[in-house]
Amino acid sequence: MRYIKIVDTLEPSCLPVTPLNPSSPVSDAAKASSRPGLSKKAKFRIGLSLAVCIPVIAGVLLWLAYRALFPNNPRLIVNSIRLAGNSGYWSPADPDERQERMDRILAILHIRPGVTPMFSGEEEYDLACMAAKLRTKIPELERADIWRVLPDQMIFELHERIPVANLGTNYYIDDSATVLDKSAYYDISASLPSISCKPAAVRTSGDASPFQHGEALANSSIRTVLDFLRLARLEFTDVHPKYIYISQDFIQCDLLYKNDPGIFTILLPLRVREEQLRDDIFGQRLLPQLESAIRNHEDERSLDLRFKDRVIAKKRS
């Protein structure tokens, strides 16, 4: 048997090209440079998407964790209530009185010990909402601070408005010009100066209806009176206002000075800024005139301070 040897002839251009040095591969940098890369705009979009998505995802996860751990957790139920404040009214020594005050707070806020969760998804159990509700329902409260103490206690620190004067027969008034019913306080009438006026004289609207518990007065004349009382109480402590009458045209104040037993009557304008009361009326005119009257045993006990830079002194009729 004979074999025929067949040899394929190929054109030189078709032969595979073998590198001179097969053991030397193409470098990674060269390969990378040969691939098409991301543009700057694409990189910016990716970075922006990550910057937006990561906080959102983290927030959702935290919210889900909060919902799983706190709201309506049967292990976190209100069982203990503690009341405190800037007066003894909300934390009396008598257990029955203390329980009565506590029951009032719980009824306003719809809190049931042993039932109400410490953390609830309902808006009415938000701490800020509860504090606002207490101030609305109990006008004599100036501020209400509320804390949760895990696992089952709530603390209420209640700051009462402090009366600075009697307003008519049935009310007090505090330094922010809020009207307070005397029935909400212990009787301290004898220790306070008295303000007498018609409701229309101290209301911006001129409304003549009776005062209401919790009503805020914004009239400039009542602000002048309260500033005068505060300055006498805190800075000019030798001046002791006793009775103040607010008319439609002026303010009249009967006061004592130092240990002198005689009453001085002064007239003030309806609108005076606190700085003017301190520097001009008290500092420049009233105190020098009171000192002179006591030192010289003068009979002029009526002082008209309604006119700038003047003191009109005359004997009381």
Tell me how long the chain is: 317
Q: Residue 229's closest CA among 246, 213, 212?
A: 246
Structure tokens at 79: 């069982």
Tell me which of 69 and 154 has the higher pLDDT: 154
pTM of the model: 0.73
The pLDDT, as a whole number, for residue 99 is 93
Structure tokens at 64: 């889900």
β-strand partners of 34 = none
d(CA 146, CA 130) in angstroms, rounded, equals 8
For the chain, how long is the longest CA-to-CA vector?
163
Q: Say yes or no to pLDDT of 21 above 70.
A: no
> What are the Cα distances from residue 194, in Å, to 176, 185, 189, 191, 249?
16, 16, 8, 10, 19
Q: Residue 240's closest CA among 275, 193, 190?
A: 193
d(CA 68, CA 63) in angstroms, rounded, equals 9
**DSSP states along 33-80:** HHS----HHHHHHHHHHHHHHHHHHHHHHHHHHHHHHSTT-TT-B--E
d(CA 248, CA 87) in angstroms, rounded, equals 36
Work out the average pLDDT over 17-45.
60
Pairing of strands 179-181, 194-197: unpaired
Q: pLDDT, tens digit, for every residue of 178-221?
A: 999 999 898 999 999 999 999 999 998 889 999 999 999 989 99
The pLDDT, as a whole number, for residue 167 is 97
Work out the average pLDDT over 144-155.
93
Q: Say yes or no to pLDDT of 72 above 70.
A: no
Query: Would you call 268 helix, strand, or coil by DSSP?
Result: strand
The pLDDT, as a whole number, for residue 43 is 76
Q: Is the peptide bond before 55 cis (omega within 30 degrees of 0)?
A: no
The pLDDT, as a whole number, for residue 26 is 54
Q: pLDDT, tens digit, for every residue of 157-176?
A: 999 999 999 999 999 999 99
Tell me which of 4 and 70 has the higher pLDDT: 70
Angle between helices 127-137 and 95-109 (to 10 degrees): 110
Instruction: Give 182-188 contacts, CB < 8 A, sequence gap 24+.
Output: 184/139, 184/140, 184/213, 185/89, 185/140, 186/89, 188/163
d(CA 203, CA 206) in angstroms, rounded, equals 5
DSSP E strand boundaries for the chain: 80-85, 141-149, 153-160, 163-167, 171-174, 179-181, 194-197, 239-246, 251-257, 264-268, 300-304, 312-315
Q: Say yes or no to pLDDT of 90 above 90.
A: no
Tell me which of 88 and 235 has the higher pLDDT: 235
235 and 278 Cβ atoms separated by less than 8 Å = yes
The pLDDT, as a whole number, for residue 285 is 94
The pLDDT, as a whole number, for residue 104 is 94
Pairing of strands 163-167, 80-85: unpaired
Most confident of 22-31, 75-84, 104-113, 293-302: 104-113
Considering the chain, what percentage of its residues have pLDDT values greater than 90?
Answer: 60
269 and 250 Cβ atoms separated by less than 8 Å = yes
**What are the structural domains of the chain?**
80-160 (3.10.20.310), 163-315 (3.40.50.11690)
The pLDDT, as a whole number, for residue 67 is 60
The pLDDT, as a whole number, for residue 11 is 52
The pLDDT, as a whole number, for residue 278 is 96
The pLDDT, as a whole number, for residue 51 is 83
